[in-house]
């Protein structure tokens, strides 16, 4: 590529970037002008955008772009000078020009006909005869702005200008995510200084007690004849103790100051890194107003989108994943909700329909509401569709509540549309919306407005990097439920448990709720509890509530997500990992997975009764040592083995594992291969050379899946080789049972 070609390519890229920015200004302004054709601020903003694109196109040498931008500018200047009043037809043509300018940067020859057609249309609307096509650039003189934009109406343009003037550093998303991960981990790690601070305070108290003891001894010995040597030693001991106490006091003050300031700085670092991911909710709205306007016109409907809470801050990843479900809900409101103008007039409504989108923060969550003032949902049609699709009998449908009937609209393939169009009718809709919202650890509900229309209520986390969660204890281990995916938490008196249809249940607001042991669901051993009531976490699927009995509520925490090792694949009932402030690992539960597991457990009919106090001590179980330098793998294997009743110790590398083997007694060793200090092959070799350990069963769990890797592990002395690529719950547990049998014999 020649220098000239490189220069041209760079200019083209700059033109595309400017076209994207100016298109947002044009689209926003033109939609406002459609409702208020004399808005001087928006006329000025749109004219300037067209003028800027004309100049940029001339510099790059895009004659088509110059022609389109020139006629757009002429039309807007005529509106500024009151030579014409913009109509919906003018707005249609100008919006088409905005779209075309964005595509012209592609230098596609196929656009020539579209450019000619559009320029002719714009000139006709302007009242001038179409000009003959020409390959020469249109000469344009700079124009003087006819009106200054007001501060209020030109706010979006000013915000964009402020962002352009701000200093910006381009950083890859991967590096930025890594920065947030490190800042979150540093915040957790710094919390571990608190035990050291507490230890220093205890040492200070012990020194004070020792000093008092020494003084008591001195008083006790007063009047007793002591030789000079004893008196000198006594005096020296008292002086040394006083000196140590003074030094400890000074160091403790310095350390407390370090802990306080360090804690503040790590918290600020994490808050700043997290805030840097946040973007205003308006970022996801680019094009939505235009999309609704164009869709309404294609359906012969008049629709206006109003937005509240545009500056609500949301994580960029949430915004990106929210765009598709939000677009579907907005299109759904226009297609299914808003009526045609004539029908709205018959009902006493305004010709123009209203779609309202609200965004706000509430209890650490992002709350979105998409509502319309349309016809609403005909529950009778929903009931008939439920019966015709054989989801329920006519008698059952009659007894269903409004909430139960509306829940059917979220089923795959369920549609009330009587014909298939480009917009709807295929039944691919609300189920996809619900699936995507749940993937973001959120929930969505459909409500009917008493005044007409319907409302979708969405709750999502503000960020996918952290999650506000309820931490509980199950089987003696910490687990976390995302707050957005649970209905409520409560404490249930044992006397409130009743037996209905062979299941333990309890009554909640005139509805019976099934009671399930969370320990049984996660295959964890029940731990004995002495409290008089049972902690319950309430979750819900489409049809009913389920109460999960846990051992204790630990509290609500903001947890930094640590994704599971990709080599493990999808771990049942688990979404991610995290660390509590004291460094304790915790698994974050996948509530959708849990609901599937609940359904399977109910299908078997083998439900354990909830009675923590009746748990009896069991025989000593077999002991397994897990050696792996990956925290994720280590914790997963440990919890899987604990779920089958085995005792489990862990080691972070081969050297740590070797020391543990020499110091304790184990029934099985499970080790990785690639580890620091001492790898798995060396560890297995040491075991086979040791007279006490040579008969110990050894299993290798490694990501290396080649035949030579397997042979190398087995030749070193391993009894079993399991590749992490094919690793899943039952494979590991079956192999353990093959090597050493059940946990208890």
For 421-469, the pLDDT digits (tens) are: 444 433 346 888 888 888 887 888 888 876 778 899 998 887 777 778 8
Backbone angles phi, psi at 429, to 5 degrees: -160, -95
Which CATH superfamily hosts domain 3-136+155-165? HPT domain (1.20.120.160)
Say if 3-136+155-165 and 174-276 have the same CATH topology: yes
Task: Tell which residue, 550, 554, 538, has the closest CA to residue 470.
Answer: 554
pLDDT, average across residues 71-96: 87
626 in Cβ contact with 651 (< 8 Å): yes
Instruction: Return d(Cα 682, Cα 666) in angstroms, integer.
Output: 19
Class of the CATH-defined domain 301-377+424-461: alpha beta
The tokens of 103 are what?
A: 């595509």
Beta strands across the sheet bearing 533-540: 488-493, 533-540, 545-549, 511-517, 503-508, 498-500
Query: Minimum mean pLDDT among 116-125, 136-145, 696-705: which range?
Result: 136-145
Cβ contact 497:504 at 8 Å: yes
> What's the confidence (pLDDT) of residue 615?
39
Class of the domain covering 174-276: mainly alpha
pLDDT for res 727: 61
* Mean pLDDT to the nearest integer, 122-140: 51
Give pLDDT, residue 163. 45
Cβ neighbors of 306 (< 8 A, separation 6 or more) are: 354, 355, 356, 357
| Contact between 44 and 149 (Cβ < 8 Å) | yes
* Predicted local confidence at residue 624, as pLDDT: 92
Q: Which of 583, 498, 591 is nearest to 538 (CA)?
A: 591
Residue 221, both tokens: 């010995």
pLDDT at 232 (0 to 100): 77
Residue 418 pLDDT class (50, 70, 90 cuts)? low
For residues 613 and 44, the model is more confident at 44
Determine the topology of domain 466-614 in CATH: OB fold (Dihydrolipoamide Acetyltransferase, E2P) (2.40.50)
Gap between the Cα atoms of 35 and 664, Å rounded? 80
The band of 561, judged by pLDDT with boundaries at 50, 70 and 90, is confident
Residue 437 has which token pair? 């919202």
Query: pLDDT digits over 378-403, tens only?
Result: 888 888 888 888 888 888 888 888 88
- At residue 6, the pLDDT reads 39
* Lowest-pLDDT choice from 110-114, 136-140, 386-390, 526-530: 136-140
Q: Please give the Cα distance from 328 to 309 (Å, whole number).
A: 20
Segment 256-283 mean pLDDT: 79
Question: What pLDDT sits at residue 582?
Answer: 67
- Kindly report which listed range (37-51, 520-534, 655-669) carries the lowest average pLDDT score: 520-534
What are the domain boundaries of the chain? 3-136+155-165, 174-276, 301-377+424-461, 466-614, 623-740
368 vs 555: CA distance, rounded Å: 27
DSSP per position, 36-48: -TT-HHHHHHHHH
Threshold 0.85, pTM exceeds: no
Query: 623-740 — its CATH code?
Result: 3.40.50.2300
CB 627 within 8 Å of CB 651 = yes
**pLDDT for position 542:** 64
Across all residues in the chain, what is the average pLDDT? 78
Q: Which residues contact 250 (CB under 8 A, 6 or more apart)?
A: none
What pLDDT sits at residue 616?
Answer: 39
Q: Which helix (H) or strand (E) holds 535?
A: strand 533-540
Percent pLDDT > 90 in the chain is 7
Q: Does the pLDDT at position 154 exceed 60?
A: no
- The residue among 223, 246, 226 whose CA lies nearest residue 235 is 226
Contact 375/453 with Cβ under 8 angstroms?
yes
CA–CA distance from 293 to each of 31, 34, 37, 248, 593 (Å)? Answer: 8, 10, 16, 72, 39
Task: Give the pLDDT score at 535.
Answer: 92
pLDDT above 70 covers what percent of the chain?
81
* Of the listed ranges 97-101, 499-503, 514-518, the one predicted with least confidence: 499-503
Task: Find all residues with CB under 8 Å of 133, minimum gap 6, and list them.
Answer: 116
How far lies 501's CA from each of 5, 504, 514, 554, in Å?
78, 8, 10, 33
What pLDDT, on the 0 to 100 scale, is given for residue 10? 59
């Amino acid at each position: 590529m020649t220098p000239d070609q490189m220069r041209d390519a760079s200019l083209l890229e700059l033109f595309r970037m400017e076209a994207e920015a100016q298109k947002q200004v044009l689209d926003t302004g033109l939609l406002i002008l459609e409702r208020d054709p004399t808005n001087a601020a928006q006329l000025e903003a749109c004219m300037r955008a067209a003028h800027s694109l004309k100049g940029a196109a001339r510099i790059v040498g895009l004659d088509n772009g110059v022609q389109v931008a020139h006629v757009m500018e002429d039309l807007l200047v005529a509106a500024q000078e009151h030579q014409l009043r913009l109509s919906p037809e003018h707005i249609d043509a100008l919006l088409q020009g905005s779209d075309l300018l964005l595509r012209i940067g592609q230098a596609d020859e196929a656009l020539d006909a579209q450019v000619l057609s559009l320029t002719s249309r714009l000139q006709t609307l302007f009242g001038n005869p179409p000009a003959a096509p020409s390959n020469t650039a249109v000469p344009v003189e700079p124009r003087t702005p006819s009106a200054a934009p007001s501060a209020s109406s030109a706010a979006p343009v000013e915000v964009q200008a402020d962002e352009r003037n701000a200093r910006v550093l381009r950083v890859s998303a991967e590096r930025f995510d890594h920065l947030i991960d490190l800042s979150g981990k540093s915040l957790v790690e710094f919390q571990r200084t608190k035990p050291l601070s507490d230890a220093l305070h205890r040492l200070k108290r012990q020194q004070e007690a020792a000093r008092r003891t020494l003084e008591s001894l001195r008083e006790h010995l007063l009047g007793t004849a002591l030789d000079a040597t004893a008196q000198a030693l006594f005096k020296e001991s008292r002086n040394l103790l006083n000196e140590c106490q003074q030094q400890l006091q000074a160091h403790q003050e310095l350390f407390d100051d370090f802990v306080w300031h360090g804690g503040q700085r790590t918290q600020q670092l994490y808050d700043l890194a997290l805030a840097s991911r946040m973007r205003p909710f308006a970022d996801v709205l680019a094009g939505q107003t235009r999309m609704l306007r164009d869709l309404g016109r294609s359906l012969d409907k008049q629709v206006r989108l109003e937005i509240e809470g545009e500056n609500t801050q949301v994580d960029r990843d949430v915004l990106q994943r929210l765009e598709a479900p939000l677009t579907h809900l907005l299109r759904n409101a226009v297609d299914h909700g808003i009526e045609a103008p004539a029908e709205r007039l018959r009902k006493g409504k305004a010709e123009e329909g209203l779609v309202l989108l609200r965004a706000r923060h509430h209890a650490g969550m992002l709350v979105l509401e998409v509502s319309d003032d349309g016809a609403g949902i005909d529950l009778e049609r929903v009931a008939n569709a439920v019966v015709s699709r054989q989801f329920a009998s006519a008698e059952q449908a009659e007894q269903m509540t409004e909430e139960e009937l509306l829940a059917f609209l979220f089923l795959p393939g369920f549609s009330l549309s009587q014909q298939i169009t480009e917009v709807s009718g295929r039944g691919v809709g609300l189920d996809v919306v619900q699936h995507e919202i749940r993937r973001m650890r959120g929930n969505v509900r459909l409500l009917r407005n008493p005044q007409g229309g319907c409302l979708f209520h969405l709750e999502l986390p503000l960020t996918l990097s952290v999650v506000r969660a309820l931490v509980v204890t199950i089987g003696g281990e910490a687990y976390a439920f995302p707050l957005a995916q649970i209905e409520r938490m409560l404490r249930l008196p044992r006397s409130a448990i009743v037996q209905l249809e062979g299941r333990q249940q309890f009554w909640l607001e005139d509805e019976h709720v099934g009671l399930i042991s969370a320990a049984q669901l996660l295959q964890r051993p029940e731990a004995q509890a002495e409290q008089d009531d049972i902690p319950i976490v309430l979750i819900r699927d489409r049809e009913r509530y389920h109460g999960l009995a846990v051992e204790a509520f630990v509290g609500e925490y903001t947890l930094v997500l640590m994704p599971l090792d990709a080599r493990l694949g999808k771990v049942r009932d688990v979404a991610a990992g995290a660390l509590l402030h004291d460094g304790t690992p915790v698994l974050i539960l996948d509530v959708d997975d849990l609901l599937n597991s609940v359904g399977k457990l109910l299908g078997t009919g083998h439900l354990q009764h909830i009675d923590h106090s009746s748990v009896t001590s069991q025989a000593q179980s077999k002991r397994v040592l897990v050696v792996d330098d990956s925290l994720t793998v280590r914790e997963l294997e440990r919890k899987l083995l604990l779920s089958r009743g085995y005792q489990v110790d862990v080691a972070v590398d081969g050297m740590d594992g070797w020391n543990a083997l020499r110091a304790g007694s184990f029934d099985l060793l499970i080790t990785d291969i690639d580890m620091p200090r001492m790898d798995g092959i060396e560890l297995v070799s040491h075991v086979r050379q040791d007279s006490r350990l040579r008969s110990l069963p050894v299993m290798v769990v490694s990501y290396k899946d080649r035949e030579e890797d397997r042979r190398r592990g087995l030749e070193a002395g391993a009894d079993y080789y399991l590749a992490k690529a094919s690793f899943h719950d039952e494979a590991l547990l079956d192999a353990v049972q093959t090597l050493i049998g059940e946990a208890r014999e």
